[in-house]
């Protein structure tokens, strides 16, 4: 492939006009390292240009308010002796491995989940929907990647259902009170099929974004590990994966109270409460776009370490990640579409200095 042919593919890629075969050819050319200088130039240009709606680069442009942070991190990494953007040369065997990596591809996640009913029966859900057996007088319907509960009463005792998304899956649910919940990959939500008087309580493992229906008489409570989040009606994200260092609650709209043991903190929009496995609740201002990026079809990395990034990739692409040696101590900034195949995401990370090989369903990071 000539430089001009590569630039033509790059230009068409930015406008979303590559065919499947062309996309594979383009990703392979990036992984090969033949056009390292052109890739580096594009990434640098992308980092410094204003954001243009609908335009894509090898590394999707950071928003203006993120730019100063990104520039500082780039400078810090270069000063530390490891360029954030400089592509390094490797042995012939490494190049062969890179070409094979493009062929060993994995598609992005999709709408899929498993619903466990109160009687223990299980219903498989996907984007086409499913038939949900009756439970009391409540009605549940599944279609278009969404589960919807409405009407009825479950009687004097609440009947609980559990919605679980596997790695490589996500799903949306509308609860009986009108609250909407987006469930990220590798997560579960336990909830009553009908809320009675008093609190509306659900239990979360993993990550979910909530748009809570307002009801002053019935506060909404999310139990996530050692953290409880109580609201009346608001928009917020909760991340409580067991393999993450902290539980995080991020508020986008309204107000929430975050509780853990005898501690309680009230959040304002734009704030995030985080709590490690053993420690106290800490509150800070954050960019909420990063917290809900997964819901909006993006990976957004701000000062993100390799292990943090790869945990997200494990969940979304349903792969295992291992490390040959200690992971590189670098922090990355940027945005990548979650609709990309794994090879495309790894090509972006390769442009940031990450080296890898794929063995079956395992991604091995080479330090």
Q: Where are the domains of the chain?
A: 3-106+297-366, 110-291
What was the pLDDT predicted at 213? 94
Q: Tell me: the pLDDT tens digits for 345-363?
A: 888 788 777 889 999 999 9
Do residues 188 and 206 lie in contact, with contact meaning Cβ atoms separated by under 8 Å?
A: yes
Phi, psi (rounded to 5 degrees) for 140: -125, 135
Residues paired with residue 273 on neighbouring β-strands, in sequence order: 249, 283
Q: Tell me: the pLDDT tens digits for 286-319?
A: 999 999 999 999 999 888 889 999 999 999 999 9
The percentage of the chain sitting over the pLDDT mark of 70, rounded to a whole number, equals 78
Res. 25: pLDDT tops 70: yes
CA distances from 99 to 36, 62, 85, 87, 358 (A): 15, 29, 20, 16, 10
Q: Tell me: the pLDDT tens digits for 89-100?
A: 233 344 444 444
**Whole-number average pLDDT of the chain:** 80
Res. 88: pLDDT tops 50: no
Q: What is the largest CA-CA distance in the chain?
A: 72
- Of 25, 1, 60, 124, nearest to 352 by C-alpha is 60
**Which band of pLDDT confidence, cut at 50, 70 and 90, is reported for residue 7?**
confident
45 vs 216, more confident: 216
What was the pLDDT predicted at 18? 77
Do residues 236 and 210 lie in contact, with contact meaning Cβ atoms separated by under 8 Å?
A: yes
**Domain with residues 3-106+297-366, CATH architecture:** 3-Layer(bab) Sandwich (3.55)
| 3-106+297-366 matches 110-291 in fold | no
Distance CA 336, CA 358 (A): 20
Give residue 333's Cα distance to chain centre. 15
Cα angle: 258, vertex 282, 66; to 5 degrees:
105
Total count of residues recorded for the chain: 367
Domain 110-291 classified CATH 2.60.120.1440? yes
């Amino acid at each position: 492939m000539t430089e001009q042919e590569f630039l033509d593919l790059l230009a068409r890629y930015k406008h979303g006009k590559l065919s499947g075969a062309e996309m594979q050819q383009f990703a392979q050319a990036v992984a090969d390292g033949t056009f390292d200088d052109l890739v580096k130039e594009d990434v640098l240009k992308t980092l410094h240009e204003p954001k243009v709606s609908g335009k894509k680069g090898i590394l999707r442009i950071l928003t203006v308010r993120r730019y100063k942070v990104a520039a500082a991190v780039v400078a810090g990494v270069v000063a530390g002796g490891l360029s954030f953007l400089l592509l390094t040369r490797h042995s012939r065997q490494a190049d062969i491995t890179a070409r094979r990596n493009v062929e060993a591809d994995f598609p992005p996640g999709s709408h899929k989940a498993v619903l466990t009913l109160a009687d223990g029966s299980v219903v498989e859900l996907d984007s086409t929907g499913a038939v949900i057996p009756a439970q009391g007088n409540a009605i549940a319907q599944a279609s278009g990647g969404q589960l919807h509960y409405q009407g009825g009463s479950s009687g004097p005792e609440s009947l609980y259902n559990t919605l679980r998304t596997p790695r490589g899956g996500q799903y949306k649910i509308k609860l009986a009170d009108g609250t909407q919940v987006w469930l990220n990959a590798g997560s579960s939500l336990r909830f009553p099929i009908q809320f009675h008087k008093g609190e509306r309580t659900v239990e979360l493992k993993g990550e979910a974004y909530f748009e809570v229906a307002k009801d002053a008489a019935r506060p909404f409570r999310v139990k996530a590990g050692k953290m409880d989040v109580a609201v009346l009606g608001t928009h917020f994200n909760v991340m409580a994966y067991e393999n993450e260092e902290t539980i995080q609650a991020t508020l986008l709209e309204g107000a929430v109270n975050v509780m853990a043991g005898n501690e309680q903190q009230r959040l304002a929009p734009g704030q995030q409460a985080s709590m490690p496995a053993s420690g106290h609740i800490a509150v800070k201002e954050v960019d909420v776009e990063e917290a809900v990026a997964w819901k909006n079809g993006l990976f957004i990395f701000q000062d993100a370490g390799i292990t943090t990034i790869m945990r997200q990739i494990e969940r979304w692409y349903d792969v295992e990640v291992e490390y040959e040696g200690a992971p590189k101590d670098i922090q990355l900034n940027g945005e990548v579409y979650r609709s990309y195949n794994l090879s495309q995401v790894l090509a972006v990370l390769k442009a940031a200095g990450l080296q890898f090989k794929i063995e079956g369903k395992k991604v091995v990071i080479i330090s």
